[in-house]
C-alpha cells in the first residue's frame, strides 16, 4: 500500500497521569504513516485523489492539543479514529506519539506509543 508520511510534528499538550503534567504541559512529537492508493492522484494530478497534508496537520493538532488525557495511548487511539473518520480515502494509519520528557526516573531518549489502525479494525 502507498503511504503519505507526515513526520516530526511538534505540539505542546497536557496529557499524563501526574498533576504537574496536566498543569505545566510538555512536548509531544507525532509521526504519521497514512496508507492509501496514490496511483489515481499520481496519474491525474488531482488533489481530490489524495489527502491534504495541511488538513492532516490540523486534525492532529486538534486532537493532540485538545482535552488532556491520562494516557498517550488514548490520544493515539483518538487520533487514529479521527483520521480514518475524516479522510475517506485512508485505508490505514500508523500513529506514533513520542513523549521526550516524561517525568519518570531513569536515563532514556524518550518514550513512545506506536499503533496501527485500519478500516478493517471496525
Residues 6+ apart with CB under 8 A from 95: 30, 31, 32, 76, 79, 80, 83, 113, 114, 115, 116, 117
69 is catalytic: no
- Residue 59 three-state SS: helix
**Enclosing H/E stretch for 81:** helix 72-86
Q: With contact defined as beta carbons under 8 Å apart, do 40 and 19 qualify?
A: no
- Find the length of the chain: 122
Selected catalytic residue, list 61, 69, 96, 99 = 99
Active site residues: 99
Amino acid at each position: 500500500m502507498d503511504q503519505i508520511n507526515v513526520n516530526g510534528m511538534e505540539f505542546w499538550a497536557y496529557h499524563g497521569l501526574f498533576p504537574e503534567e496536566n498543569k505545566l504541559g510538555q512536548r509531544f512529537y507525532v509521526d504519521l504513516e497514512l496508507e492509501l492508493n496514490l496511483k489515481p492522484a499520481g496519474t491525474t494530478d488531482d488533489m481530490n485523489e489524495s489527502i491534504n497534508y495541511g488538513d492532516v496537520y490540523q486534525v492532529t493538532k486538534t486532537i493532540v492539543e485538545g482535552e488532556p488525557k491520562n494516557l498517550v495511548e488514548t490520544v493515539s487511539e483518538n487520533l487514529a479514529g479521527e483520521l480514518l473518520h475524516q479522510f475517506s480515502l485512508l485505508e490505514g494509519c500508523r500513529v506514533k506519539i513520542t513523549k521526550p520528557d516524561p517525568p519518570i526516573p531513569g536515563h532514556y531518549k524518550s518514550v513512545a506509543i506506536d499503533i496501527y489502525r485500519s478500516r478493517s479494525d471496525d
